[in-house]
Structure 1
Amino acid sequence: MYRFAFVVVLVTAISVETLQAQSVSLPRSTPESQGVSSADICEYIEAADREVNSMHSFMLVRHGHVVAEAWWAPESADKPHVLWSLSKSFTSTAVGLAVADGKLSIDDRVLEFFPDDAPAEPSANLKAMRVRDLLTMSTGHQDEVDWLEAEHWAKAFLTHPVPHKPGTHFRYNTPATYMLSAIVQKVTGETVLAYLKSRLFQPLGIEDPRWDESRQGISIGGYGLFLHTEDIAKFGQLYLQKGKWNGKQLLPESWVDQATSRQVSNGSDPSKDWDQGYGFQFWRCRHDAYRGDGKDGQFCIVLPELDAVVAITANSGDMQAELNVVWDKLLPAFGDEPLAENPDEQAKLNAITAKLKASR
């Protein structure tokens, strides 16, 4: 099977503020001007192409500039991609905005929002469940509710047993994210998709986002969002900039700090990126990074210490291996200062990516 990739590395370095004000696209720059080695980027792309089955796209942003981007055919820059559970980080953002708007508190009880959908005799643990517990995947469930065949997803969630005290037991829980979406819709009168359009998508220049809905007309929240690779990169850049975009605070800095910090423990293996702690629908990573991620290898990786964002889409059977290539091959590419321009390596990078064909 043949796969193709195309990377564009542009050489014009223009201020982030100027271009973001004029264009919906992030500014482009050479890797070296932003302190990144073209040769190391090339090594990363070759390793990802060889070791990840299979890559769809990659974008690297440093100091607010796109320094490398790649799409493996038939994917392309103008083709929306399914985000799977990377959608959860966008739902969390909607909750943060609703909190900032005074619509709710993360310490509100979940049952308060669903008086007509609650079981006749809710358990003490269900009564104790808060919005915070939905955000941190610590609702108290032992097993995820089998909800997809249910006629009413919120009712199915609320009737599911809650054997653990909420806040004490991490259990990855996509229906919990759906409940966050439903709560945002309850308090704003808009779907999460509609609510985010004017507050997030339009300011970031994200055009035509699509989000699948439940039978009740609620954005699924936990998955179902379709965006372009650059949209993922913009989202990561917004978080890297502590919620600020073009000089405007779109999202409170306090929310960014809360959402991306370790709120609950989810394991203890230092070699696994799924054991580094969980925030508000964001995962902590090794290397002091954090990420939103989705099934099959959809990643928005934010590296605050390096002032960088990595956006990846894929159809991978091993997401940890996909991250390992980033850590092993891409991290060494970063320097503290701009590097001397290296036209030969930049040309090599363009040539290698333009003709990239690999078979397995």
Structure 2
Amino acid sequence: MSMKTLSTLFIIGLTYAQVTAQMYYFPERAALWEEITSEEARVNGDGLADVIAFAKANEYSGSRDLRIAILEGFKREPFHEILGPTKKRGGPAGMILKDGKLLAQWGDTKRVDMTFSVTKSFLSTMAGLALDKKLITNVDDPVKNYLWDGTFDGHHNSQITWRQLLQQNSAWQGILWGGKDWADRPPREGDLDDWQYAAPKTPGTVMEYNDVRVNVLSYSLLHVWRKPLPQVLKEKVMDKIGASTTWRWHGYKDAWVEIDGLQMKSVTGGGHSGAGLFISTEDMARFGLLFLHDGVWNNERIISSEWIQKAIEPSIPNVNYGFMWWLNKKGPRHWEGVGEEVYYAAGFGGNFIIIDRKHDLVVVTRWLEPSKIGEFMAKLTKAL
């Protein structure tokens, strides 16, 4: 359905939830995904076939044994080691949804694989739900107001807000689960000692992709929710969108926390030391479809529209990054030939969930050579 059609329906008094319930398709749990032909979707069939062939021909070049791929990919990091579970991966796989229906698929879409930093977009959603539930009052609150265990003590760390953790510009300093903030993704040039002892950036001013700091966000949200985040994700999101029972969200082996007298695992926001979300292509597609529909699934509001809008606003330090979603704005990570309204989750090894509201499209790719994703999306956009 076009955005013009949606606007017309809003004018006559229907809410977004009513529109989606009446006009869109939502796949039921465990049912065969309803398909749509390229003719029905008004997509160039030859162009679509070329897109799928391109995805199959450009498999991620790293080892299918992800323990090997991880150690090779992050070998420059001092002290880097595998701290959580890993899993050998499958081959290229993906799904393209048009109006919620299955336009194309390739590979084993039910296979559960690691999805690395795609996990971050699930993690940020846990923050959004906490804000919707008023467990967090404001994203600009200092996180120290919610944790008193020393994680945000000191002049520097005490300034850090939820927004800064979500936008990866917090510059948090410290050690969590054995990971040192300065040792995570050091610059490729210069001396590591200079990096280790450099003065910290002012929170909110510079984006630094850093899994230790992402895991600090996860740890902080665990304390806010007072229950394991996989349980929150299952109850608040995945069960409601009909996801399978096969996905798992892991933490590092020693990442245990006692809350209310109970031992709970603090999960990670990625997999570059192992752990993170292990999930199928189909469950990733359902999650993407929820965001395409502005947080509504089959007439039920699951995530507030206000949160989703916050999540996809460009941060001041990086126009291509919101609340752990990448944005296709004009900037260093812009995909030429693809609309600026497109946003996406991205993970090591070529894992992506891509949301294209203009074309009512959700795209999931697994194990596509990361440098090829822009070309892949440009080909798909041209086919549309």
Contact 1:21–1:246 under 8 Å retained in 2: no
Q: Percent identity, please.
A: 25
Amino acid at match of 1:333: A
Tell me what 2:269 maps to. 221
Tell me what 2:322 maps to. 279
Q: How does 1:146-185 map to 2 (within 5 A)?
A: 149-150=178-179, 163-185=200-222
Tell me what 2:375 maps to. 324
Relative to 1, partners in 2 of residues 1:145 and 1:172: Cα closer, same or farther, differing over 3 Å? farther
Tell me what 1:39 maps to. 46
Contact 2:98–2:362 under 8 Å retained in 1: yes
Structure 1 CA distance for aligned equivalents of residues 237 and 199 of structure 2 = 34
Amino acid at match of 1:330: L
Q: Aligned residues, how many?
A: 296
Tell me what 1:207 maps to. 244
Provide TM-score, normalisation by structure 2: 0.70
Structure 2 CA distance for aligned equivalents of residues 213 and 53 of structure 1 = 25
Shift of 1:110: 2.2
Any idea what the Cα deviations from partners look like across 1:170-207, whole Å, max 9, x if unmatched?
Answer: 11122222122212211111111111111101011112
Amino acid at match of 2:236: R
Q: How does 1:290-301 map to 2 (within 5 A)?
A: 290-301=343-354
Shift of 1:45: 1.6
Shift of 1:60: 0.4
Contact 2:311–2:322 under 8 Å retained in 1: yes
2:371 equivalent to 1:310: no
Q: Give unmatched runs, 5+ long, in structure 2.
A: 1-21, 62-90, 185-196, 257-264, 329-333
Structure with higher RCO (Cα < 8 A, 6+ apart): 1
Tell me what 2:70 maps to. none
Q: Which moved more, 1:18-27 or 1:276-285?
A: 18-27
Tell me what 1:235 maps to. 287
Structure 1 CA distance for aligned equivalents of residues 292 and 113 of structure 2 = 22
Structure 2 CA distance for aligned equivalents of residues 109 and 40 of structure 1 = 49
Tell me which of 306, 312, 315 is aligned to 1:254. Answer: 306
Q: Give unmatched runs, 5+ long, in structure 1.
A: 1-14, 267-275, 335-360
Contact 2:25–2:99 under 8 Å retained in 1: no
Structure 2 CA distance for aligned equivalents of residues 233 and 19 of structure 1 = 11
Tell me what 1:66 maps to. 102
Any idea what the Cα deviations from partners look like across 1:88-147, whole Å, max 9, x if unmatched?
Answer: 00000111001101101312212233322347x612x31110111000011135xx8675
Structure 1 CA distance for aligned equivalents of residues 325 and 368 of structure 2 = 20
Contact 1:264–1:277 under 8 Å retained in 2: no
Structure 1 CA distance for aligned equivalents of residues 134 and 110 of structure 2 = 36
Contact 1:81–1:227 under 8 Å retained in 2: yes
Shift of 1:24: 5.3
Any idea what the Cα deviations from partners look like across 1:67-106, whole Å, max 9, x if unmatched?
Answer: 10000xxxx2321111100000000011100110110131
Structure 2 CA distance for aligned equivalents of residues 101 and 19 of structure 1 = 25
Amino acid at match of 1:282: W
Moved over 3 A (4+): 15-26, 51-55, 144-150
2:238 equivalent to 1:187: no
Relative to 1, partners in 2 of residues 1:26 and 1:132: Cα closer, same or farther, differing over 3 Å? farther
Q: Which moved more, 1:191-200 or 1:84-93?
A: 191-200
Shift of 1:332: 1.3
Tell me what 1:101 maps to. 133
Tell me which of 151, 159, 165 is aligned to 1:128. Answer: 159
Structure 2 CA distance for aligned equivalents of residues 19 and 167 of structure 1 = 38
Structure 2 CA distance for aligned equivalents of residues 325 and 205 of structure 1 = 28
Quote the RMSD (CA, aligned, Å): 2.8
Contact 1:100–1:252 under 8 Å retained in 2: yes
The SS at the match of 2:358 is helix
Amino acid at match of 1:235: F
Provide TM-score, normalisation by structure 1: 0.75
Structure 2 CA distance for aligned equivalents of residues 228 and 96 of structure 1 = 23
Contact 1:19–1:27 under 8 Å retained in 2: no
Shift of 1:325: 2.1
Shift of 1:323: 2.7
Contact 1:264–1:279 under 8 Å retained in 2: no
Contact 2:110–2:282 under 8 Å retained in 1: no
2:119 equivalent to 1:87: yes
Relative to 1, partners in 2 of residues 1:130 and 1:19: Cα closer, same or farther, differing over 3 Å? closer
Contact 2:167–2:207 under 8 Å retained in 1: yes
Structure 1 CA distance for aligned equivalents of residues 51 and 175 of structure 2 = 39
Structure 1 CA distance for aligned equivalents of residues 363 and 53 of structure 2 = 16
Amino acid at match of 1:116: D
Structure 2 CA distance for aligned equivalents of residues 161 and 182 of structure 1 = 25
